[in-house]
Amino acid sequence: MIIENDAVDASSSTAFLSRMLQFGDSMFPIGAFAFSSSLESAIQEGVVTDAATLRAFARTALEQAARGDCIALIAAHRAATTSDIDTLARIDALVYARKLSEETRTMSVRMGKKFTEMGVEVVGGPLLCRWRECIETSVTPGCYPVALAISFAVQSLPASQAFVVHQYGVATTILGAALRLMKISHIETQKILYELTGQTGGMYEAAATARLSDMAGFAPLTEILAAVHTRAHVRLFMS
Amino acid sequence: MIPAAFPPWARAETLGASMPEFASFQDEPPQMSSGTVGKTGFLRLGFEHRSGQTILANLERRVPYMVQRALHCDEQMPGLAYVFLITTTGCLLQGDRLALDITLRPRAQAHLTSQSATKIHAMDANYAAQSQTIALADDAYLEFLPEPVIPHRHSRFISDTQISVAPSATLLLSEIIQPGRKHHHPDECFGATVLSVSTAAARPDGRSLFAEKLVIEPRRYAMRQTGVMDSFDVFANVILCAPKDKADRIHERAGADIDLADGVAFGACRLPNDAGLIFKVLGRETAQVKAKVREFWGLVRQEVIGAALPPPYLWR
């Protein structure tokens, strides 16, 4: 059935949309709530103090993800559609080698493993099962962007949606932590989220056309904040 | 001799031609064109341990790169070969292609530095490129601590460093990047067009350890943004490849702090695959950053060699 105000076939698009919402939901149990992506130390050190600095901090995280992890995410989605395990493992190693702080590595591999396990239980299929086996036998580290790409590819969800879910996750992890760490209202965090997610379009095109060797970034203060966090005496979050 | 068909600076040429951030800078300078004689510097340094000290056993050079000889001037490490890298042009210009190959044989110990800061001049065509390879054999020890890089406004610079390090070897590699000549002109603070600095390390058997690619494009990504440079101006990136036990002790002692009032921030993280540490420093002024890098260097010497640092130079 074609409904007038829908551009595509409604029954398949609603099914796709439900899947994307489920796997992109902050309720999806991959443990993202345990991480603050260095926001905890940014607040302790006075780097993030109000809504404006929080917005800029989250924007930095989104830009870094778009220039790095998301290139791997889109490449992994391509490899997963042909069930190319060797290429997936190669991409996974490249992502892991670029996580230069122990906390960002821990976050990526924990969420990657959980996401894969949930994929096996909820969606199933040979590729997800093989990927879980690769992670469990330490053949591959199992970073989050690759896990997300595989789960989306096996459900025939497009790479652009995986990208949106990835970036939404980056933003909500920080903004969710902000609600618990600083004096900020839900209204303000939602306004920030609305503004930041509105800017993802151009980022997707750049990431989709880049090569794996183009993965880059530059956020030295965020990296120093990660180093500060590993040494902090009082920690609510794992990063 | 260098085979004519594959000169080492050809690597630097390939770099700029393949990276997307340099796609729009492929035009030739109206002056001397890129990669011609005088613009293709090459330096190959081979260090070997012989009868108690390290000697510069192999030296090949081509202007504008130059090295005269290894000195044994460090009283704390008398066997250490101390080498000054000289650039006869004194700076980097558009169209420059530089290649530096450093090899340390087993147990060799060397310190490499530059005579002064490296200025990267303003560019209106093309770019400058530098390709470096560093290979450390078993128990080798290299401190590569050049003076800062000063990217002038509208400069375009690409640097690629490929490291091969044995599990028992130690490499301390520092890079200090200034925002430009910030006291000279307001446009000189983060006025560079693009700086692309890649580093990748592997074991001699080819196993990859880590990779980092820093791309600084101030007009595309705001430098003052929270989490990027914030209120800081000078950035140091220090890579330490060292055996895990030593790296852990250095990490324990290195500390991490952010002091917005004093304008200095620093911290070390453990690199993946037990490769070592990465130590980053931000400061408002170069002297603060250099002091922190020196502190870290002191820790590395103490933990890895058991030696102290030489006293600081009076004029550097």
The beta-carbon neighbor of A97 closest among B210, B225, B237 is: B210
Q: What is the mean pLDDT of residues A221-230?
A: 96
What's the gap in Å between the CA of A170 and the closest CA on chain B?
Answer: 14
Unique residue bearing structure tokens 């943004």: B225
Q: Give pLDDT tens digits for B45-61.
A: 999 999 999 999 999 99
Contact A239, A35 (CB under 8 A): yes
Q: Give pLDDT tens digits for A69-127.
A: 999 999 999 999 999 999 999 999 999 999 999 999 999 999 999 999 999 999 999 99
Contact B176, B289 (CB under 8 A): yes
Residue A75's CB: how many other CB atoms inside 10 A? 26
Task: Write down the mean pLDDT value for chain B.
Answer: 94
Token pair recorded at residue B260: 């917005």
Q: What is the mean pLDDT of residues B281-308?
A: 98
| Chain A residues within 8 A of B266 when measuring between CB atoms | 224, 227
Chain A interface test: which of B195, B228, B235 (most A C-beta within 10 Å)? B228
Task: Write down the mean pLDDT value for chain A.
Answer: 93
Q: Where are the beta strands (DSSP E) in B203-275?
A: 208-216, 234-241, 256-259, 264-270
**DSSP characters over A63-78:** HHHHHTHHHHHHHHHH
**Verdict on whether the full-model pTM lies above 0.90:** yes
Q: How confident is the model at residue B7 (pLDDT cuts 50, 70, 90)?
A: confident
What does CATH list as the number for A47-230? 1.10.4190.10
* Chain A CA closest to residue B259: A45
Q: What is the mean pLDDT of residues B256-285?
A: 97
Q: Give pLDDT tens digits for B148-158.
A: 999 999 999 99
Reported as type and span, the H/E element at residue B13 is helix B9-18
Contact B108, B18 (CB under 8 A): no
Q: Where are the domains of chain A?
A: 47-230
Chain B interface test: which of A105, A196, A221, A228 (most B C-beta within 10 Å)? A221
Q: How confident is the model at residue B13 (pLDDT cuts 50, 70, 90)?
A: confident
Q: What is the DSSP letter of B78?
A: T
Q: Is B186 a residue whose pLDDT tops 90?
A: no
Reported as type and span, the H/E element at residue B173 is strand B170-177
Q: How confident is the model at residue B314 (pLDDT cuts 50, 70, 90)?
A: confident
Q: Is A1 a residue whose pLDDT tops 50?
A: no
Q: Give pLDDT tens digits for A133-162.
A: 999 999 999 999 999 999 999 999 999 999
For residue B64, cis peptide bond before it (omega within 30 degrees of 0): yes
Token pair recorded at residue B197: 């600095």
Write down the ipTM of this complex: 0.94
Unique residue bearing structure tokens 């406004």: B153
Please name which of A35, A23, A21 lies closest in space to residue A115, comparing C-alpha atoms.
A23
Q: How confident is the model at residue A14 (pLDDT cuts 50, 70, 90)?
A: confident
Distance CA A123, CA A177 (A): 29
Q: For residue B297, which phi and psi values (nearest 5 degrees)?
A: -60, -40
- Hey, are the CB atoms on B280 and A63 less than 8 Å from each other? no
- Hey, are the CB atoms on B214 and A93 less than 8 Å from each other? no
- Hey, are the CB atoms on A220 and B282 less than 8 Å from each other? yes
Distance CA B46, CA B58 (A): 4
Distance CA B32, CA B21 (A): 23
Q: Is A233 a residue whose pLDDT tops 80?
A: no
* Helical pair A51-67 and A186-197, crossing angle rounded to 10 deg: 30
pLDDT at B39: 86
Please name which of B123, B62, B59, B66 lies closest in space to residue B90, comparing C-alpha atoms.
B66
Contact B142, B174 (CB under 8 A): no
Distance CA B244, CA B316 (A): 32
Distance CA B161, CA A85 (A): 30
